[in-house]
Chains A and B, each alone.
Chain A
Amino acid sequence: MSQLQIFLALVAGGLSAAAFALSVVTPFEQALLLKAFLALGFLSLIRFFIPLGLWADGAFALLGAVALLTSLGIFDPTPAFFWMALVAAWLFAWLFVERLSKALAPKLGDNAGLGLLIPVVFGAALLVIWEVVTRGANVPPVLLPAPSMIGAQLANSASILWADFVQTFIKSVLPGYAIGCLSGLVVAILVDRSPFLKAGLLPIGNFMSALPIIGIAPIMVMWFGFDWQSKAAVVVAMTFFPMLVNTVAGLNASSSIERDLMRTYAAGYWQTLMKLRLPAAGPFIFNALKINSTLALIGAIVAEFFGTPIVGMGFRISTGVGRLAIDLVWAEIAVAAVAGSVFYGVIALIERGVTFWHPSVRGGRA
């Protein structure tokens, strides 16, 4: 065991022992599972004589989580040993993840499923802590609702959330993203072709990309109306310039020797573009596509703050806060986070397929 692991094991076991001692003053039948967890946590100190497998720590952490969640609301006010149990359970989870990542390190390369296990354990621990702290300490739901409340709201308002998702993501983000990225790509090729545009348009492009584009959202609402068209226009404006600037840089990424080769074949402009310069620009273009996938969602949601029909993720968030329906706001944020991650993930997967040859993807040297 490493020094960190020894420290974690010692503190987790010691804290369990102290909390167990404090808990015996309460009536025996109260929160039996929690006491059982604390007793077992105390016993885990025997690991310094008999080694315990890493799955034992996983079981301790799981038992602690279940015990804490089931004993919520039994004690009022919440006693100190309850919080100590929370910290102990968290330390067991930490120890488990620490040992797991050490054990998995050699096998991670060829198994994506194993690689997912650690973030899943980590995320679950975070959710349990959030749940226990908000409910155990009676945090007002207006400040921070418990994950269970958000989950319930997600299930109850599925139809509202779906309508908002369609309005914001399907109608505003996707068309805006497609138009913005495609036009950025086309204009970049024109800019590259024409020295006049390169001298004139590119500095303006750099200037525009430094502007906080979201500030134009009210103007877009005036131009294109309240519905999704104005949000799509904001997304187009936000995604256009990153794509333009990245693609112009990418088109110059091929080496002079690679371009000389094309010249010795007496290749035409379009042949050189399609067979050399665009493929070589691939990593740059995908970089812009990934940046834009997050920018587009931000742009569409914030643009809805400035006027919208009574549907949409941004609309729901701004009005939800006004009505103190904070759990609905969090549910909307959760949907946005999942949608944004999936969008980014899909682009990243396509990137791996298309630019498989690039050293950053194949993990080799140039």
Chain B
Amino acid sequence: MSAVVSAQNLGLTFKTNDGDVVALSDVNLTIEKGEFVSFIGPSGCGKTTFLRTIADLEQPTSGTLTINGQTPGDARKDRAYGYVFQAPALYPWRTIEKNIALPLEIMGYSQSQQAERIKRTMDLVNLSGFEKKYPWQLSGGMQQRASIARALAFDADLLLMDEPFGALDEIVRDHLNSELLKLWEATKKTICFVTHSIPEAVYLSTKIVVMSPRPGRVTDVIESNLPRERPLDIRETPEFLAIAARVRDGLRAGHSYDGDHV
């Protein structure tokens, strides 16, 4: 069984004071090893909730979800994934290298293993030389790269990224996107990436999951035929634009289904 993530009829309903909110409804999805999967959709479509459910930060209320054939809870206890949040969430009392060491300390790596992994992951995200800096001494883009290094440090095969570059400006974002592709190529990890930017999703992914809100559900799954080697100017090619158009159609379809578009 090579599926890293497998969801069948997955549903999640939040109970709130204003009644039930259906965050996910009847989601069926399989993610194979080594894929780069983007989740795209308007806010409220459940893309972040789905990612958090994979991470066992939310509990599904119906259907089944397995990570490497295990329940999400067991997968979390096995440290099966690294999670990159919307905000860097670096601890301000720790230096960058100590922040990257945080999961390694918790998981009981020896001092020499910690040092070796810190050096390797900091090289990987191009942060060498900033080991002794504190997070608040770095720019937002560098902070987010440090948080990616932290998620990579313990070698989980699955990387979950929740709009990691959402708060950054376009120039920094382009740069980090192409670095992320190189990193994916180098590490052969499976990546789940939440975004609300169509070009970002098309540029990065081998598979794009289009979602729509109320209730949160999958409206389209698009397999990308773009080559794995992707320079930034691939975004001007007809193939790229065709996929982007299909994503846009999928997003629009999801909206008209709801009947609330203008």
Contacts of A357 in B (CB 8 A): 92-93, 134, 136
- Which has the most chain A C-beta neighbours within 10 Å: B79, B89, B105? B89
| Assembled-state Cα–Cα distance A276/B77 (Å) | 19
| Assembled-state Cα–Cα distance A263/B77 (Å) | 9
User: Given the known A-B contacts A265-B107, A266-B77, are A260 and B92 also in contact in the complex, defined by CB atoms under 8 Å?
Assistant: no
CB atoms of B83 and A264 under 8 A apart: yes
Interface status of A157 (Cβ within 8 A of chain B): no
Contacts of B105 in A (CB 8 A): 275
CB atoms of A271 and B134 under 8 A apart: no
User: Given the known A-B contacts A275-B105, A276-B91, are A261 and B136 also in contact in the complex, defined by CB atoms under 8 Å?
Assistant: no
Interface status of A211 (Cβ within 8 A of chain B): no
| Assembled-state Cα–Cα distance A258/B102 (Å) | 12
Contacts of B92 in A (CB 8 A): 357-358
Contacts of A279 in B (CB 8 A): 91, 93
Q: Chain A contact residues: over half helix, strand or loop, or mixed?
A: helix
Interface status of B103 (Cβ within 8 A of chain A): yes
| Assembled-state Cα–Cα distance A261/B162 (Å) | 12
| B164, chain A: closest CB distance, angstroms | 12
CB atoms of B76 and A257 under 8 A apart: no
Interface status of B21 (Cβ within 8 A of chain A): no
| Assembled-state Cα–Cα distance A356/B134 (Å) | 11
CB atoms of B103 and A258 under 8 A apart: no
A-B contact count, CB below 8 Å? 53
User: Given the known A-B contacts A275-B102, A275-B106, are A264 and B57 also in contact in the complex, defined by CB atoms under 8 Å?
Assistant: yes
Interface status of B55 (Cβ within 8 A of chain A): yes
| B44, chain A: closest CB distance, angstroms | 19
Interface status of A267 (Cβ within 8 A of chain B): yes
| A286, chain B: closest CB distance, angstroms | 13
CB atoms of B136 and A264 under 8 A apart: no
CB atoms of B91 and A258 under 8 A apart: yes
Interface status of A255 (Cβ within 8 A of chain B): yes
How many interface residues does B have (CB within 8 Å)? 24
Contacts of A257 in B (CB 8 A): 85-87, 89
Interface status of A193 (Cβ within 8 A of chain B): no
| Assembled-state Cα–Cα distance A257/B85 (Å) | 7
A246-294 residues at the B interface, CB under 8 angstroms? 255, 257-258, 260-267, 271, 275-276, 279, 282
Interface status of A27 (Cβ within 8 A of chain B): no
Interface status of A47 (Cβ within 8 A of chain B): no
| Assembled-state Cα–Cα distance A257/B87 (Å) | 8
- 0/1 interface trace, chain A 343-366, chain B, CB 8 Å (1 if under): 000000000000111110010100
Contacts of A262 in B (CB 8 A): 106
Contacts of A258 in B (CB 8 A): 89, 91
Please name the residue on chain A nearest to B147 by beta carbon: A261
| A285, chain B: closest CB distance, angstroms | 13
| Assembled-state Cα–Cα distance A362/B55 (Å) | 35
B78-129 residues at the A interface, CB under 8 angstroms? 78-79, 81-83, 85-87, 89, 91-93, 102-103, 105-107
From B76, B87, B91, B93, A263 is in contact (CB under 8 Å) with B76
| Assembled-state Cα–Cα distance A276/B106 (Å) | 12
CB atoms of B89 and A255 under 8 A apart: yes
| B180, chain A: closest CB distance, angstroms | 19
CB atoms of B79 and A265 under 8 A apart: yes
User: Given the known A-B contacts A271-B106, A275-B102, A275-B106, are A264 and B91 also in contact in the complex, defined by CB atoms under 8 Å?
Assistant: no
| A250, chain B: closest CB distance, angstroms | 13
Beyond A260-B85, A265-B103, 11 extra complex contacts between A and B, CB < 8 Å: A257-B87, A258-B91, A260-B83, A261-B89, A262-B106, A264-B81, A264-B82, A267-B106, A357-B134, A362-B136, A364-B136
Q: Identify the B interface with A (CB < 8 A).
A: 55-57, 76-79, 81-83, 85-87, 89, 91-93, 102-103, 105-107, 134, 136
8 pairs across A/B with beta carbons < 8 Å?
A: A258-B91, A261-B85, A263-B57, A264-B76, A265-B106, A266-B79, A279-B93, A358-B92
Q: Identify the A interface with B (CB < 8 A).
A: 255, 257-258, 260-267, 271, 275-276, 279, 282, 355-359, 362, 364
7 closest A-B pairs by CB: A357-B92, A264-B83, A357-B93, A257-B89, A266-B77, A267-B106, A265-B103
